[in-house]
Structure formats: C-alpha cells, structure tokens
Amino acid sequence: MLSLLSVNRNLRSLKRYREILSVLVGHGFGHIIEQLNIDYYLELGRRIITRDAKKKALERLPDEVRLRMALEELGPTFIKLGQLLSTRADIIPASYILELNNLQDKVGAVDWSQIRLQIEAELGGATTEFFRHVDSIPTAAASMAQVHKAQLCTGEWAALKVRRPGIERTIATDLDILENLASLIDTHGNMGKLFSAEEIVREFRRTIYRELDFVKEAHNLCRFKSNFSSNDRVHIPEVYWDYTTEALLTMEFIEGTKISATAELKHQNIDLKRLAHDGAQAFMAQIIDHGMFHADPHPGNLFVLSDGRLCFLDLGMVGLIDEESKQQLATLILSIFSKNADELASLLISTRPGARDIDKNTLKRDLATFIEDYYNLSLKRIDSYRFITEFLAIIRAHKIKFPSNLILLAKALITIEGIGRNLDPDFNLIDEVRPAVEVLIRKRHSSEHLRREFKQILRDYYEVTKALPVDLKELLSRITNNNFKIDLEHRGLERLIRTMDQSSNRISFSFVIGSLIIGSSLIVQTGAGPQLFGLPALGLFGYSIAAFLGLWLAIAIIGSGRL
C-alpha cells in the first residue's frame, strides 16, 4: 500500500497533514483517524488526545454540523470538497446534504496592493494602462477569488474577478493529501462498493481546477450568452477577452438585485410570479435545448435587472447533459408516470453493471411504494423537494451509483424549487417541468430517435463481432503459452497484519522486560559483582532498564486507547 509519507515528504505537506488531522480530531472525528490507522504514519502529539472544553462542546453537536465546521476551518479546498459532496445525494445522507449546503467561505479580503500586483502580472502592465479606475474595496470576496469594480479605458464598467494570490499552491498541497487519505479510506474504510473515495477526489481535482481557470468560465459565459441570445427574459454578462486570463476574468458589471431580496424586488415593481416562471423555464431550456446547465444556481448567483430580466452569474461550475443522459431522464420520468417499477428498477441497476449485491425485488418494492405515494396526488400537492430527496434516498439505500451529472441536476432542481417558492408561494416545479418532460418523451418515441437507436445497436454489434476473433485468438494464445494469469486481491488484511505486528512487538517487548527482571533478580540473589547501596550494581542496572521499558510500554498502550 502507498504510504502517506512516501508521497509528501516536504515540510509544507507534513505541516498541512498535521493541521488537517488536528482539525478533524478537534471536531470529534478521531474515530475515523483511528479506523484508517493514520496515527501509524503521523504522530500528532498530545493535541490528538487532549479533551479540552472546546472539544467537549463540539462533541455535543450533530456529526453533520461538526463536519461542516471542520471543512470551513480547513479552508478553500475543503469548502469546495464539501460543496461537491453536497451534490452527491446518492452517497451522502440527506441530513449531511442539508448541512453542507450551509458551507460558507469565511475569509477576509486580500489587500488591494497584492490584488493589484496580481492583475498587473496577468495583463503585463500597470492597471492604469488598461483601466480608468479600479475600486480598491472588493464588491465580493470568497476563498478562491474576489471581485473589484473597474472602468475600462473605453468607458465600459466591468467586474474584475481576480484569483487570490498563492491559492494554487495551497490547493495543490491539499489535493495531494486528499488523494492519500482517499487511498486509505478505500483500503481500510467500510464504504462497500457504492463509491470509490479516490474516484471522488479525482472528480474533485478536475472540478476545482476547472473553477480555478477563469478562461474556461469565460467560455461558459459566452456559450450561455449564445444559447440565450433569442431570449429577451434572460441576460448573460459580456466577457471582455482582451482583459481575461486564467487568473483574471473581466466581464460586464451587473447592476441588479439578488433574486432572494423579494422585498426590494417588490419595491421595484418586479412581477415575482413571472420571475419564478421565467427562471424555471430558463433552467429547463438549459437542460433540454442546450445540454448545459448552471450547476450552482443559488440566490447569490442569480440577479434581477431593473427591467425584470434574470441574469446568471458565476458559471465556473456547469453540468452537461448529453443525449444518452436525456434519454435516461426520459425513461426515469416515464417509468414513474406509468407506474412501471420494474422498468425503473432495471434502469437504476444498469448504472452498476455486474453488481450482485442489489436485491432487485426489494428495490422494485421500494420503488413501487414510492410511486404509489405520489401517483394519485395532484401536481399542486406534490412537494418537489421531498419527491427528489425520497427518490435519492432509495438510490443510496440500495447502494446504486447514479450518473453524477443527473445527481448534480437533481440538486440544482431542488435549489430552483426553493428560489421559486420564495418568489411565489404557489410555485410548483413539476408544473414548470411538465412541458419539457413531454418534449423528452415525444423525442424518445419519435421515429427519428428509434431509427438512430437501432443504428447504434447495429454499430455496437458490428464492433463486438469484428473484435471477437482477435480477442479469442489472443486468449487462446495466452492459455497455450501459459501466460494466462488471474490476479487475486485481498482487501482489508493490511490493518489486521499491522495490528498483529504491533501486538507481537509488544509481546516481544514484554518478554525482554521479564527476562531483564528475572536476570537481575538472579544477580541480586548471588550478590556477584560490584556493590551499590549494598546490592549488586549490575542487578540494579537491569531493574532500572526494565522499569524504564515497562513504563514506556504502559504509556504506549494507554496512549493507543486499547488498554
């Protein structure tokens, strides 16, 4: 197994390991460290076992609250990880999802002098060469970037989104540590076959580096602007490419009101009912028509302009829906509408090919009960949030790995539902979604879709048939030449071996101590050798070593908590 210390031996990583593990222990997650045997690699000192008043107070809080607090204390990388986990309702309990949604970037703004140097390094010149004016006080500050209002030399007002200096190095160190911890979780944890911690960290690495690259966010903005070019109810900010780099995004400054500020919107005579409808339809257009949706549509990323148009901001995180995903979504919805629990169960099981630990009959029963609970209700009486969370709870209970983009979509829909109901108490997401669902279902049964699906099946069979002779020939060749091998992997034995090794070491230590005591006693009995305090000096020396080693062994056993 890959050792933590074999990967990160530099001082910064070791210091960060100590900080991370200390925070986790301080928030009451020491049992996880013990389970993963991290203390075998890193000695954290007395801070690990100290039970001060703060720790006792934290231990009285629910686990999910302590986890959220720990992630906030650990900084930007772990806050972003918590935000990613909050989209994985297929593996994280609902109570944790709700708490992780409250994650906040509790950071102060970077001093303007450092931000100015960052801007000048990115643009290759003084700020006065590119801007008439830049506000030194940020309009927004988060853990990865902060925003300053500026006026271009051409007169346009812009928002400068500037990456915090040095954040890349911090994130790189944290990601290396997370990968090593993920390896330990997969090796020693009891997560079953539901997910791979290493796979989640790899996905997280891709996500966070995409968010760090503001050129990618600028491309997302441009694509959204093109997608909504004919929609007069939605506005997407303009990107100023001449002033945009990987660490600096310069875009149109938006003067608007947060969509959650309903009192202010009413004061501006904005039609909140229409705004809720426009927002839901814009989001459905992203899914059905564009295949690309805003993956983090919280109220802080949705502004309302003075004329009532909706503006989408912060497009660093987007979800993609390809045709296959759309058809999976159509099958899922059609199965629910037609009360076909068998088809729905088959769809869910197909996301984990080869899985033998899923009880299909129990899954069908749970899905049938779920469908029956909602089937006879009018759309107005269906709580979309409860509907989605109950469905995701079934997925998680049966250890089904659902496509991550559809899970991300489900979370975004829940957020849209909350925003819509805040604007209009009568808002019902299912009413808004129904037309788009009907379009999906019509496409699914269209002759064009069936023809395309049939052609794809023929193509797949052709590829399999073409590759089969070559694969069989290679297999027979390996068997003939005794090159056919089967690799068996034992999982979970490393901890047992390490525990046995520790136990045998302690037993050996005990034998050494016992031998010293017996040998020293024999020397004292014979009275041989030089005397000290009237006793043989050699015997007293042996007793002293035995006492020291015995005390050392006792402290080690008590400190391990396995007395």
Q: Which residues are catalytic?
A: 296
Query: Which residues does residue 252 pair with via DSSP β-bridges, in sequence order?
Result: 158
- Whole-angstrom CA distances from 393 to 90, 305, 319, 407 are 7, 38, 22, 12
Start-to-end C-alpha separation, the chain: 28
Asked whether 147 and 159 are in contact (CB, 8 A), the reply is: yes
Distance between CA 516 and CA 331 in Å, rounded?
A: 75
Q: Please, what is the angle between helix 167-188 and helix 11-26, to 10°? A: 60
The residues near 149 (Cβ < 8 Å, ≥ 6 apart) are: 134, 135, 139, 157, 158, 159, 160, 253
- Whole-angstrom CA distances from 197 to 92, 112, 191, 200, 470 are 12, 39, 9, 5, 36
Strands (E), 164-203: none
Asked whether 326 and 440 are in contact (CB, 8 A), the reply is: yes
The tokens describing 279, both together, are 């927002």
* b/e per residue 538-551 (b: at least 16 CB within 10 A): bbbebbeebeeebe
The tokens describing 333, both together, are 């919805």
Asked whether 446 and 125 are in contact (CB, 8 A), the reply is: no
Residue of 295, 332, 111 lying closest to 203 (CA atoms): 295
- Whole-angstrom CA distances from 398 to 358, 373, 447 are 6, 19, 35
